[in-house]
Amino acid sequence: MGDNKMINIYDIAKMSGVSIATVSRVVNNNPKVSEKTKAKVMEAIEKSGYTPNVFAQGLGLKSMRTIGILVPSIADLYMSRAVAYIEDNLHDAGYDCILHCSGYTAAEKETHIQLLLNKKIDAIILVGSTYAGSDDETHNTDYIRRAAKDVPVFIINGLVDGDNIYCTASNDYQASYDVTTALIENGCNKILFLTDSRSYSANQKKEGYKQALSNAGLKSEDKMMIYTENSIPVVKNLLNNLKDIEFDSVFATDDAMAVGAIKYALLKGLNVPEDISIVGYNNSTLCICSEPELSSVDNKIEKVCKDTCSRLIDILKGEENVPNQSVVACSLVKRATTDF
Q: Which residues bind a copy of itself (CB under 8 A)?
A: 66, 69, 73-75, 77, 80-81, 83-84, 87-88, 91, 96-101, 115, 119, 232-233, 256, 259, 262-263, 266, 285-286, 288-291
Q: Least distance in Å: CB of 26 to a copy of itself?
A: 29
Cα 289–chain centre separation: 25
Residue number, 21 or 99, with CB nearest to a copy of itself: 99
Q: Is there a contact between 280 and 296 (Cβ–Cβ < 8 Å)?
A: yes
Residue number, 71 or 175, with CB nearest to a copy of itself: 71
User: What are 169's strand-pairing partners?
Assistant: 327
Q: Least distance in Å: CB of 193 to a copy of itself?
A: 21
Sign of CA dihedral 25, 10, 125, 166: negative
Closest-CA residue to 21 (of 198, 144, 152, 111) = 152
Q: Least distance in Å: CB of 43 to a copy of itself?
A: 32
Residue number, 24 or 157, with CB nearest to a copy of itself: 157
Q: Is there a contact between 25 and 320 (Cβ–Cβ < 8 Å)?
A: yes
Residue number, 7 or 83, with CB nearest to a copy of itself: 83
Sign of CA dihedral 207, 160, 136, 83: positive
Q: Least distance in Å: CB of 242 to a copy of itself?
A: 21
Distance CA 329, CA 290 (A): 26
Residue number, 37 or 73, with CB nearest to a copy of itself: 73
Distance CA 53, CA 243 (A): 57
Residue number, 30 or 231, with CB nearest to a copy of itself: 231
Q: Least distance in Å: CB of 273 to a copy of itself?
A: 16
Q: What DSSP designation does 282 have? A: S
Q: What DSSP designation does 2 have? A: G
Q: Is there a contact between 101 and 74 (Cβ–Cβ < 8 Å)?
A: yes
Phi then psi for residue 101, to 5 deg, are: -110, 115
Q: Least distance in Å: CB of 86 to a copy of itself?
A: 9
